[in-house]
Amino acid sequence: MGLVVQKYGGSSVADAESVKRVARRIVETKRAGDDVVVIVSAMGDTTDELIDLAEQVSPNPAPRELDMLLTAGERISMAVLAMAINDLGFEARSYTGSQAGLITDSTHGKARIIDVTPGRIQSAIADGAIAIVAGFQGVAQDTKDITTLGRGGSDTTAVALAAALNADVCEIYTDVDGIFTADPRIAPAARQVPRITYEEMLELAANGAKVLHLRCVEYARRFDLPIHVRSSFSNKTGTLVVSDTSAPEGEAVEQPIIAGVAHDLGDAKVTVVGVPDLPGKAAEIFSAVAEAGVNIDMIVQNVSGSSRRTDVTFTCPMADGQRALSVLEKVKSDIGFDDLTYDDGIAKISLVGAGMRSHPGVSATFFNALAESGINVEMISTSEIRISVVTRADSAGEAVRAVHTAFGLDGSGEAVVYGGTGR
Amino acid sequence: MGLVVQKYGGSSVADAESVKRVARRIVETKRAGDDVVVIVSAMGDTTDELIDLAEQVSPNPAPRELDMLLTAGERISMAVLAMAINDLGFEARSYTGSQAGLITDSTHGKARIIDVTPGRIQSAIADGAIAIVAGFQGVAQDTKDITTLGRGGSDTTAVALAAALNADVCEIYTDVDGIFTADPRIAPAARQVPRITYEEMLELAANGAKVLHLRCVEYARRFDLPIHVRSSFSNKTGTLVVSDTSAPEGEAVEQPIIAGVAHDLGDAKVTVVGVPDLPGKAAEIFSAVAEAGVNIDMIVQNVSGSSRRTDVTFTCPMADGQRALSVLEKVKSDIGFDDLTYDDGIAKISLVGAGMRSHPGVSATFFNALAESGINVEMISTSEIRISVVTRADSAGEAVRAVHTAFGLDGSGEAVVYGGTGR
């Protein structure tokens, strides 16, 4: 008998019928002999509706009060989910983030978890009850005010609680079957990955894969907690995110080189034209941008020719683009550059795989695939387990499919068994 | 500078515009120099909508989880009210019942307040902030689970917190101007009462007046806390509920004899026909009814004639009527009565006033007024400050108007100043 932590997102509990379906799934796990702790998000569009209400009342709601308001969403979903489980003859008790011991800092709207003290959850488990915990929320250590964790907060709650409870696995239920080698909507030949390492998952999440959030994967890696990403609409095995994807003893070993191809259409490209080729100029540019709170992703500086001037190009989230431009415009004369250009018609295509470290041919195959499809590469960036390029946004789909095919990732529509775990 | 506790019901905060209106009123009080603590109910129909959701999920929701669900309602209203106040340039902080120190027993759905430990509210006041507290909810002392207080819970929260904070007054905002000498919908000549004693208010509330709940008045009486019942839709002075309605020094003294006329159409009448006229039979009847959880109001036993049999009649809430009948049917042969009759076409008309203690003519005036209007009296019950009769339901309006006129309560459509306080 083990302990399983399950997290259900808002789309899995969108209405009364969905809540009952999820309740049956939870009860199945309990009936199979495991203890179960469930983290649940707000039902369907509840959070958006509460934000609408706040906007009707106030143009700029106080962050403390916005957190108080939004946490009503999970309060509703967790209570009705507990009711539905009780109706199936199993005891369920719901707990707010505060009651479950999710201790955070006091940064309302994007609080960080400081500590998890799940005494009441442990008591519930000891009593044989199923604990239902509100995702996305906690209580500030110093002010005792209610906080929300921001984007990916419910996934992070699940992983943090699973780690604190020393759970065997944290199951993240979503509306897809798991992690795929590419987004199936643009690469129909994409197949589900049975296992993936934390590092690969981090690179995929950071480069456009939407299924898991960075924070949650980082947390799981720190505690070496297995995450099982799977669909709440089927009983299929999903994708295990673990520290080591080598096959268990006795199973076929076929370590994949490439985990997947990610794409991201959310970035913009800013070029600072005609920067004096003097030491410290890049530092001036990026200090100014950083002070404006803009997150920089890729940076490229062209080689300076005989002109004594160079161009510096970087990418950042589209939402930060105008802020980056206006802060740079202010320091234009100080830095002494000639011009700024802005381009939000770009896509970032990333190839991720722990296996590429030891396979020198990966880059060549990657660039050949793009070249053969006539796709122009505008920027390049690499890490130990990733190669990313910037292309035109309208060639993103073709680029993903070309790379996916070149690395032999195309499946037959069924997930291929490799690395030891079936679907 | 004083401390004012204000309570706003759901109809006062039904939508974003109402919330902003209430925020302006709160800020006016703060601006006038008083500290303000606000208790707020859930917005408009929120509670009903949450109950609907629970019913969609579960035919018989667990009480603990229903409380967790319903408390989301006040969480929403208090957060948006705090936002609206912040927008007016005043600091407001919202607190759940648990955060505000409302400690209750663990009877979910109708918890009783055990203690109030409002440390965080006192800190907020000390910081110059306006504290917004969720009505209707608390936290159980033993289980630490979230509880709701049941009917009248928000009024009771307001009075309990006002008492614990040693507030100068607890203002209960509602959709009428205060307490009236009768229900203006059936007695158009009814006028607002400027002051009324706790005892009178208790009798009125217990006998059909809907504005304040018994629990809240009982609590205020115990702590001698003045309640000011007033409209959230106007700036008129409402009705003060206090221990003593004699006029303040220097003002005109004109102690009213009668506080008002209440009516109640919610009761049914059960007659146990042909009860053997032997000691202990009444006890057998009412023990059986009490064990079924039926609340008895009036009881009349007719004088026994030579038949050695008597009739026992009582009234109870209509909702309990069928339960009373079925439990009596079971003990019919044990007790040895002949028959049961049930009548839910009745009204109870009550005249309430501390002044009637020392005015022996009150009963005579009361019964004469009814007789002159041709209204038949079916049952009579009295307390020191109340006379109640049961009549046919369809003569309730006429009975209220006749009594109201006979005691000189009819106004000119404007509230008459008496007892020292203007409208």
pLDDT digit of tens for each residue in chain B (423 aa)?
799 999 999 999 999 999 999 999 999 999 999 999 999 999 999 999 999 999 999 999 999 999 999 999 999 999 999 999 999 999 999 999 999 999 999 999 999 999 999 999 999 999 999 999 999 999 999 999 999 998 889 999 999 999 999 999 999 998 889 999 999 888 999 999 999 999 999 999 888 888 888 889 999 999 999 999 999 888 899 999 999 776 554 444 445 578 899 999 999 999 999 998 888 888 889 989 988 888 888 888 776 666 788 888 999 999 899 999 999 999 999 999 999 999 999 999 999 988 776 677 888 889 999 999 999 988 888 888 889 999 999 999 999 999 999 998 887 544 333 322 222
Structure tokens at B160: 């309990």
The angle subtended at Cα A407 by Cα A404 and Cα A413, nearest 5°, is 55
Cα B84 to Cα A54: distance, rounded to the nearest angstrom:
9
The string of pLDDT tens digits covering residues A128-185 is 999 999 999 999 999 999 999 988 899 999 999 999 999 999 999 988 899 999 998 8
Q: Average pLDDT for residues A368-380, to the nearest whole number? A: 90
Q: Using the beta-carbon criterion (under 8 Å), do A53 and B76 form an inter-chain contact?
A: yes
User: Which of A27-41, A64-78, A286-300 comes out lowest in average pLDDT?
Assistant: A286-300
Helix (H) or strand (E) holding B241: strand B239-242
Q: Contact A79/B68, CB-based, under 8 Å?
A: yes
Q: Best mutation site among A24, A50, A65 for testing chain B: the one with the most B CBs within 10 Å?
A: A65
Distance between CA atoms of B208 and A234, rounded to whole angstroms?
56
Note the pLDDT of residue B208.
83
Q: Flag whether the ipTM exceeds 0.90.
A: no
* Interface mutation target, options A21, A49, A57, chain B, most CBs of B under 10 Å: A57
Please judge whether B75 and A68 are an interchain contact, meaning their C-beta atoms are less than 8 angstroms apart: yes
Between A394 and A421, the higher pLDDT residue: A394
Give A17→chain B minimum CA distance, Å: 7
Can you tell me the distance from the alpha carbon of A155 to that of A151, in angstroms, rounded to the nearest whole number? 9
Distances from the Cα of A383 to the Cα of A183, A200, B224, angstroms: 21, 11, 73
Please report which confidence band the pLDDT of residue A252 belongs to, taking 50, 70 and 90 as the band edges.
Answer: very low
Instruction: Judge whether A312 and A301 are in contact, CB under 8 Å.
Output: yes
pLDDT of A422 higher than 60: no
Residues of A in contact with B59 (CB under 8 A): 87
CA distance A342 to A324: 10
Identity of residue A138: G
Instruction: Supply the pLDDT for residue A248.
Output: 54
The nearest CA of chain B is from the CA of A146 a distance in Å of 10
- Range with the largest mean pLDDT of A91-105, A283-297, B362-376: A91-105
> What number of C-beta contacts closer than 8 Å exist between A and B?
114
CA distance B242 to B359: 22
| Whether B120 and A144 lie within 8 Å, measured CB to CB | yes
Domain A3-175 class in CATH: alpha beta
Half-sphere exposure of A356 (CA within 13 A, CB side): 23
Distance from CA of A149 to the nearest CA of B (A): 18
Closest partner CB to A75 (pick from B62, B75, B93): B75
Q: Which of B53, B91, B117, B120 should be substituted to probe chain A, the one whose Cβ sees the most A Cβ atoms within 10 Å?
A: B53
B377 to chain A, closest Cα gap in Å = 49
Neighboring chain A residues of B137 at a CB cutoff of 8 Å: none
CB-CB under 8 Å, A59 with B87: yes
pLDDT of residue A412: 59
Give the pairing type, strands A169-174 and A113-116: unpaired
Q: Strand pairing of A35-40 and A130-134?
A: parallel
Q: Is the dihedral of CA A288, A291, A292, A298 positive or negative?
A: positive
Predicted pLDDT at A209: 83
CB contact under 8 A, B144 and A94: no
Q: Which amino acid is at A255?
A: Q
What kind of fold does domain B249-423 have according to CATH?
VC0802-like (3.30.2130)
Amino acid at B290: A
Least confident of A9-13, A378-382, B298-302: B298-302
- pLDDT surpassing 70 at residue A247: no
| Averaged pLDDT, A101-121 | 95
Cβ(A406)–Cβ(A365) below 8 Å? yes
* Residue bearing tokens 């614990």: B164
Average pLDDT along chain A: 89
Residues of A in contact with B65 (CB under 8 A): 79-80, 82-83, 86, 92-94
- Cβ distance of A65 and B86 shorter than 8 Å: yes
Residue type, B20: K
Distance in Å from the first CA to the final CA of chain B: 23
Asked if B122 contacts B3 with a C-beta cutoff of 8 angstroms, the reply is no
Q: How far is CA B95 from CA A46, B73, B99, B122, B321, in A?
A: 21, 13, 6, 12, 41
Residue A71 structure tokens: 């946490």
Of A19, A58, A68, Cβ closest to residue B87: A58
Q: Are residues A62 and B16, on separate chains, in Cβ contact within 8 Å?
A: no
Give the best residue of A24, A69, A74 to mutate against chain B (max B CB count within 10 A): A69
- Higher per-residue pLDDT: B245 or A251: B245
Largest CA distance in chain B: 80
Asked if B80 and A53 come within 8 Å (Cβ–Cβ), the reply is yes
pLDDT at B418: 30
Q: Which residue of B has its CA nearest to A80?
A: B54
Interface probe, candidates A76, A121, A132, chain B, greatest B C-beta count within 10 A:
A76
Cα–Cα distances in angstroms (integers) from residue A6 to residues A2, A89, B59, in the given order: 13, 19, 25
Q: What is the pTM of this model?
A: 0.82
By C-alpha distance, which of B124, B130, B47, B148 is closest to B88? Answer: B130
**Where is pLDDT greater, at B416 or A324?**
A324
Which residue of B lies nearest to A61 if distances are taken between CA atoms? B83
Residues of B in contact with A86 (CB under 8 A): 58, 61-62, 65
Q: Domain spans of chain A?
A: 3-175
Q: Is B133 helix (H, G, I), strand (E, B) or coil?
A: strand
The pLDDT-based confidence of A309 (bands split at 50, 70, 90) is confident
Residue where the block lists tokens 């401390």: B3
**pLDDT (mean) for A208-216:** 86
Which member of A19, A59, A72 has the closest CB to residue B72?
A72
Of A57, A79, A99, the CB nearest to B65: A79
Contacts of B77 (CB under 8 A, 6+ apart): B10, B13, B19, B40, B41, B42, B43, B46, B134
Residue carrying structure tokens 């994807």? A245
Calculate the CA B267 to chain-centre distance: 16
